[in-house]
Amino acid sequence: MSEDLKTVTTERVEKYLDITRRAREKATSLCSEGSDDAEKLAIMMRMADDYASDAAHFLSIGDHVRAFGAINYAHAWIDAGVKIGLLNGHGDDVLFTLP
């Protein structure tokens, strides 16, 4: 394995921060307002946002490993919402694991 694939750099974390930001912007709710699913989705999106915020914080203090882990958790929450049908990924199989 090449050395660049073993290193968590600022650039790599920033790339994944951007991918997750784009996924968060693109995915739209499929839930009826006020439904149980909408409440569950709101919790999932708060988790995604909190992990993304954590990732930015860790990056700002130079903790690339925790930043990389946190941004991947953030993206996973969004991706899970698409996969289980609470979010519409609009056919984007680059940003999401489509159902």
> In this predicted model, what pLDDT tens digit does every residue of 46-94 receive, in sequence order?
999 999 999 999 999 999 999 999 999 999 999 999 999 999 999 999 9
Query: What is the pLDDT at residue 99?
Result: 74
Query: What is the pLDDT at residue 62?
Result: 97
Q: What share of the chain is helix, strand, coil (3-state, %, to 5)?
A: 65, 5, 30
Q: DSSP secondary structure string, 5-46?
A: GT---HHHHHHHHHHHHHHHHH-EE-SPTTSHHHHHHHHHHH
Query: What is the pLDDT at residue 76?
Result: 98
Q: Which of 71, 41, 42 minimizes the C-alpha distance to 54?
A: 71
More confident residue, 14 or 2: 14
pTM for the whole structure: 0.92
Percent of the chain, pLDDT > 90? 92
More confident residue, 4 or 68: 68
Instruction: Give yes or no for residue 1 having a pLDDT over 70.
Output: no
Task: Specify the 3-state DSSP secondary structure of 95.
Answer: coil
Extract the tokens encoding 67.
């930043």
Rounded CA gap, 30 and 85, in Å? 7
Extract the tokens encoding 26.
């693109």
CB 58 within 8 A of CB 70: yes
Task: Give the architecture-level CATH label for domain 8-88.
Answer: Up-down Bundle (1.20)
